[in-house]
């Protein structure tokens, strides 16, 4: 008698997926992390935070807002130790990992160190910076900072902020004031409960003249008693969509006085006599924005990889329906449509990861150049052109990478079926926590338009014969306008496709802008009128830019199994995005309908090819079970056992039902009142019978 073949366990299934990978997972992981040192540090950090009680994550879905905030603060002490004892490079890598594990804490700590300290580093003179460091900014022993920029009625438009800082020459002080409700500082992380000082962005007024928005260090609370300083009103803005570990608050100032020396004066100076000296190079202030945008590109990749680790492992072990003559139900990952759901997203997350690595190098080089640059520097114009280009490119990358990540998290959730809707899958919290990335440090649509504006300017410079910075250098090659595919769909053909279409959509936006100018519109009016064309230009340029940086990184690698696999992944990313944006490639004639069909067939085949190495690829993301915090994505594949155990542990049944006596029992035991039957009262049945007999008699 033949017995049916036993169904492999989920753990056995995942082990089979890992058997005999075509590449070395360790080498692949090193490539994705930029260096072996970075990977080793990440593994060290994962082990350290996994054993730290304050970084317990398994119960985070069941904590209240107040409990989350308290736990966030519990983590501060350990991080203060590391920030004061590690190199900046090492600490940034540590925080990068913590950003994946606990975005709320990453943000709250980042407010103190990334934004408040960042404002000091970018805006203070050397002596001012030393002053604040001496007063405990680094160790949080004396100063816990927050970043008071956004207001109730103003966010992205920093130039339009309405809090005022009026110079009082008699006392050598600035008077910080909230003139009306709309100027209330709003969304200020750390303000509600924990900050002692704020970097306040306010309109500087000297002798009745406005000089634009400057930054003023303003004390909010007494550091001994924690009571509010005179003239400072603070409140809690309450429940948010996500990141409840952050105590976001509002601040109102009623004629709060701060010493003139508390204005950060690296760029603009105000003397004791009220003489204002503006910076010779206003563009230098761009540099302060690049660091945040660079980190958000990297975070987009890391957060997408976290979601994909869960979704792809789950798809490998989850079996649903038997197909053909198979005795076993089919793994979700073997269905072509499921491969289509996830494999392009894997390619996209990897592409954004390599873009983040290269962007970080560009940012460091740019920072070094800006720090050493003098107005008399012979390379001044080249450096400023590159700064403008990097600033605009980073705006587009921040927008489209964060959008891509948020979309990835939700698609991963949907791909896990009903279990993905459970809080314990970690998708709901991932989505809620990441969603704000599309809004802060510049609303994505606004940043896209900034990038589009810069591209319109670059096209104009190219028309005038100027040699452009590397990121937009393809605009110097006018032959791209009418380029056609060679049908090879090779990496170089894909790159030429993106260059061609980006050139065309940028040209359309620029010509629309020029036409509007000629019709009598002002520059600002013309820019607004061609917003949609600028947005499309930014989108196509940015996707092509990501592909280019990914392709360059892969082609610079040694020719081995790892690089060959990554070339396949790069090809999948480039072609999938062409398919997603196919209207533009058909519109501008780079591909015809038949070639576009070939693109679809190639994407199908590449999804199947990448599916074959999906689990080893996911493993190379190097994320521990503690970091992903989802039973559906367990490394060993014990999905159902881990899920059931976590649900049981988090939801014990109470000994006594909490509301049976008050609500359920009265419902069950209620007495139905005797109700008169309206039909009987009317004699309706007899009446209907008579009507029926009369009808028959007719």
Are 610 and 570 contacting, i.e. CB atoms less than 8 angstroms apart? no
What residues contact residue 428 under an 8 Å CB cut-off, 6+ apart?
413, 421, 422
For CA atoms 102, 103, 104, 109, the dihedral sign is: positive
Rounded CA-CA distance 263/179 in Å is 20
Establish whether 150 is an annotated binding residue.
Answer: yes
Among candidates 16, 18, 22, 20, which has minimal Cα distance to 566? 22
Identify the burial level of 225 via C-beta atoms within 10 angstroms of its C-beta, where 0-12 means exposed, 13-18 middle and 19 or more buried: exposed
Cα 18 from chain centroid?
A: 30
- Which residue's structure tokens are 């079970």? 625
| C-alpha torsion angle, residues 432, 438, 439, 442 (rounded to 10) | 160
Residue 219, token pair as written in the block: 């004390």
What residues contact residue 151 under an 8 Å CB cut-off, 6+ apart?
161, 162, 163, 182, 183, 184, 185, 186
Residue 566, token pair as written in the block: 């990554």
What residues contact residue 584 under an 8 Å CB cut-off, 6+ apart?
501, 504, 505, 536, 540
Rounded CA-CA distance 221/247 in Å is 15
Rounded CA-CA distance 640/631 in Å is 7
Cα 346 from chain centroid?
A: 16
Which entry of 162, 389, 441, 562 is annotated as an active-site residue?
441
Point out which residues pair with 258 in neighbouring strands: 174
State the DSSP string of 519-553.
TT--HHHHHHHTHHHHHHHHHHHHHHHHHHHHHHH
Rounded CA-CA distance 542/562 in Å is 26
What residues contact residue 659 under an 8 Å CB cut-off, 6+ apart?
none
441 carries an active-site annotation: yes
CB atoms closer than 10 angstroms to residue 356 = 24
Are 432 and 241 contacting, i.e. CB atoms less than 8 angstroms apart? yes
Establish whether 189 is an annotated binding residue.
Answer: yes
Residue 197, token pair as written in the block: 């000082």
Q: Give me the active site residues, please.
A: 441
Binding-site residue positions: 150, 189
Binding-site residues from annotation for FAD: 150, 189
């Amino acid at each position: 008698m033949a017995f049916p073949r036993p169904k492999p366990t989920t753990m056995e299934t995942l082990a089979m997926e890992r058997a005999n990978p075509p590449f070395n997972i360790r080498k692949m992981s090193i490539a994705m992390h930029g260096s072996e040192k970075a990977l080793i540090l990440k593994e060290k950090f994962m082990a350290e935070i996994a054993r730290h009680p304050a970084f317990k994550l398994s119960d985070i879905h069941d904590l209240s807002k107040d409990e989350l905030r308290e736990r966030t603060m519990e983590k501060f002490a350990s991080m203060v130790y590391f920030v004061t004892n590690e190199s900046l490079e090492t600490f940034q890598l540590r925080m990068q990992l913590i950003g994946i594990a606990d975005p709320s804490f990453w943000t709250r700590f980042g407010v103190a160190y990334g934004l408040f300290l960042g404002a000091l580093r970018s805006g203070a003179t050397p002596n001012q910076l030393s002053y604040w460091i001496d007063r405990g900014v680094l160790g949080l022993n004396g100063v816990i900072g927050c970043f008071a920029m956004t207001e109730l009625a103003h966010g992205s438009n920093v130039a339009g902020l309405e809090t005022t800082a009026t110079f009082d020459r008699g006392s050598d002080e600035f008077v910080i004031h909230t003139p009306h409700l709309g100027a209330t500082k709003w969304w200020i992380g750390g303000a509600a409960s924990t900050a002692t000082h704020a970097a306040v962005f306010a309109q500087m007024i000297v002798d009745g003249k406005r000089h634009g928005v400057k930054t003023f260090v303003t004390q909010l609370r007494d550091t001994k008693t924690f009571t509010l300083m005179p003239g400072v009103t603070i409140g809690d803005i309450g429940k948010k969509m996500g990141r409840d570990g952050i105590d976001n608050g509002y601040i109102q100032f009623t004629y709060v006085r701060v010493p003139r020396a508390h204005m950060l004066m690296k760029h603009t100076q105000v003397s004791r006599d009220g003489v204002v000296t503006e910076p010779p190079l206003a563009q230098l202030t761009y540099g302060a924005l690049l660091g945040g945008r660079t980190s958000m590109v990297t975070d987009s990749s890391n957060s997408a990889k976290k979601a994909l680790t869960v979704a792809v492992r789950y798809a490998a072990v989850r079996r649903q329906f038997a197909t053909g003559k198979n005795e076993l139900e089919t793994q979700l990952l073997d269905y072509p449509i499921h491969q289509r759901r996830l494999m392009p997203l894997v390619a996209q997350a990897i592409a954004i990861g390599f873009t983040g690595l290269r962007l970080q190098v560009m940012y460091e080089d740019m920072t070094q150049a800006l720090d050493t640059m003098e107005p008399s520097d012979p390379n001044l114009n080249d450096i400023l052109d590159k700064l403008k280009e990097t600033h605009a490119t980073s705006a587009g990358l921040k927008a489209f990478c964060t959008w891509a990540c948020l979309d990835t998290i939700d698609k991963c959730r949907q791909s896990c079926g009903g279990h993905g809707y459970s809080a314990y899958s970690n998708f709901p919290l991932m989505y809620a926590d990441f969603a704000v990335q599309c809004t802060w440090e510049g609303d994505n649509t606004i940043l896209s338009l900034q990038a589009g504006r810069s591209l319109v300017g670059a096209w104009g410079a190219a028309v005038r014969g100027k040699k452009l910075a590397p990121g937009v250098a393809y605009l110097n090659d006018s032959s791209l306008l009418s380029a056609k595919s060679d049908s090879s769909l090779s990496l170089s053909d894909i790159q030429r496709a993106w260059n061609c279409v980006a050139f065309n959509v940028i040209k359309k936006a620029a010509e629309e802008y020029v036409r509007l100018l000629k019709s009598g519109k002002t520059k600002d009016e013309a820019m607004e009128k061609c917003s949609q064309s600028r947005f499309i230009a930014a989108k196509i340029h940015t996707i092509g830019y990501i592909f280019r940086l990914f392709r360059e990184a892969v082609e610079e690698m040694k020719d081995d199994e790892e690089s060959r696999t990554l070339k396949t992944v790069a090809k999948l990313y480039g072609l999938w995005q062409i398919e997603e944006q196919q209207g533009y490639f058909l519109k501008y004639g780079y591909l015809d309908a038949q070639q576009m069909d070939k693109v679809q067939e190639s994407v199908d085949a590449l999804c199947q090819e990448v599916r074959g190495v999906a689990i080893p690829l996911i493993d190379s993301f190097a994320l521990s079970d503690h970091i992903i915090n989802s039973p559906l994505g367990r490394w060993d594949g014990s999905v159902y056992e881990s899920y059931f155990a976590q649900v049981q542990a988090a939801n014990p049944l109470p000994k006594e039902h909490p509301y049976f006596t008050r609500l359920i029992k009265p419902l069950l035991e209620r007495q139905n009142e005797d109700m008169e039957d309206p039909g009987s009262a009317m004699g309706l049945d007899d009446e209907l019978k008579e009507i029926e007999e009369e009808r028959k008699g007719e």
